[in-house]
Structure 1
Amino acid sequence: MPSNVPPSFRELLGDCTESAVHLEMRDAYAVDYERGPFADWRAGHRHDPADRASWWRPWLDLVAETVGRGVTVRRARIVSEPVSEYIRYERAGTFTNVAAGEQVRWLPRRQASDIALPGNDFWLFDGRLIQWNHFAGDGSSQGPELSDDPIAARLCAGAFGTVWERAAPHDEYTIR
């Protein structure tokens, strides 16, 4: 019997056999200045790379499981420079993604001006299934949308590929 319930993100990654790529293009996402991880970071908290138990979380388990099955997981971030406070926060914590096996690169927005980019952040699974990530102006999530449109998938794959080629690997990107 068909279901109208969209697959969970865990299921989308679980169905991947080759690659999952994520393009992020915003300078901030749903920032809570009063509480939570961003507020803690602003107050001076930093993850200790040697204390893995303090920062390993379910997302990192999922990435490690996915990479362990032979799926390449890559994330590229297009960022404005000088970077926002939120991007500084993301940069400081990205070592956790890398530790889980995710490959991460950073591209200054000025270097992306001539790239045909989709209008929204996205995940592209195995080069064919897109999860668009829709956000409001304040960075709050407006929910995902799935698409298997082959033209849109080619746009996403091409955009991601060009960004990836130009972007600096996480350990080489210097905050400006």
Structure 2
Amino acid sequence: MVPATHDDLNSLCRGIDKSFVHLETRDSYGTEAELPHMAKWRRGEPDDFSWLGWWLEMLRGHRAAGRTCRRARIVSEPLSDYQRWTMSHAGLFTEAGEDIRYLPRPRLATVALPGSGDFYVFDDKIALFLHYTGAGTNASFQTSTDRALVRACSQAFETVWDLSTPVRDYRPQ
């Protein structure tokens, strides 16, 4: 495992040749970029989502070039405020080209997950693990090109993906 940075994550997301997959396993995150926007949502205030512009533009570019971007979210039900907030604007991501699915945590019982939970796999060649504090803020990133580990992450993602429900059809309990 090699230490990585947020810039490395962004570069890997932008630089794919064919695909990336992203597994999210936490019910709540506390990223500095998201917290003020989630607070607006809690207060019922509108958000122009301009802060997501770079990500949405990247997704549009990948879709136009025939590359795929998929995200699977493992969630507890009832959903946390964070997950309800992300669902409120998931359409922005799917319209831009990212396929998003949800898997309620009890359906995960038979799935073995590698690493510390959240990860990306880029072009079936590089795994990037995201490590979080108890409060949900990012603590560190690590990458690996170990073929067995990348394959384990890819297989775990595909298993979760096959069990999950597309965001447009997901109806949380």
The alignment's TM-score, normalised by the length of structure 2, stands at 0.87
Amino acid in structure 1 at the alignment position of 2:12: L
Number of the residue aligned with 1:13: 13
Number of the residue aligned with 2:23: 23
Amino acid in structure 2 at the alignment position of 1:37: H
Higher alpha-carbon deviation: 159-168 or 14-23: 14-23
The equivalent position to 2:49 in structure 1, one of 42, 48, 55, is 55
Query: Judging changes above 3 Å, is the alpha-carbon distance between structure 1 residues 40 and 143 closer, same or farther for their aligned structure 2 residues?
Result: same
The equivalent position to 2:66 in structure 1, one of 56, 67, 70, is 70
Higher alpha-carbon deviation: 5-14 or 36-45: 5-14
Equivalent residues of 1:135, 1:142 under 8 A apart: yes
Query: Judging changes above 3 Å, is the alpha-carbon distance between structure 1 residues 15 and 31 closer, same or farther for their aligned structure 2 residues?
Result: closer
- Is residue 107 of structure 2 the alignment partner of residue 111 of structure 1? yes
- Is residue 171 of structure 2 the alignment partner of residue 174 of structure 1? yes
Amino acid in structure 2 at the alignment position of 1:155: A
| Per-residue deviation, residues 70-107 of structure 1 (Å, max 9, x unmatched) | 11100000001111111111111111111110000000
Number of the residue aligned with 1:163: 160
- Is residue 148 of structure 2 the alignment partner of residue 151 of structure 1? yes
Rg (Cα) greater in structure:
1
Number of the residue aligned with 1:91: 87
* Partner SS for 1:130: strand
Shift of the alpha carbon at 1:167? 0.4
* 4+ residue segments displaced more than 2 Å: 4-11
Amino acid in structure 2 at the alignment position of 1:81: E
Amino acid in structure 2 at the alignment position of 1:55: F
Amino acid in structure 2 at the alignment position of 1:85: D
| Per-residue deviation, residues 111-142 of structure 1 (Å, max 9, x unmatched) | 01100112220110011201111101110101
Q: Higher relative CO (CA 8 A, sep ≥ 6), structure 1 or 2?
A: 2
Give the number of aligned pairs: 165
Find the aligned partners of 2:63 and 2:129 in 1 and give their Cα distance. 22
Number of the residue aligned with 2:42: 42
* Partner SS for 1:117: coil
Amino acid in structure 1 at the alignment position of 2:61: E
Query: Judging changes above 3 Å, is the alpha-carbon distance between structure 1 residues 77 and 155 closer, same or farther for their aligned structure 2 residues?
Result: same
Find the aligned partners of 2:98 and 2:137 in 1 and give their Cα distance. 24
The equivalent position to 1:136 in structure 2, one of 114, 118, 133, is 133
Equivalent residues of 1:17, 1:70 under 8 A apart: no
Flag structure 1 segments of 5+ consecutive residues without an equivalent.
48-53
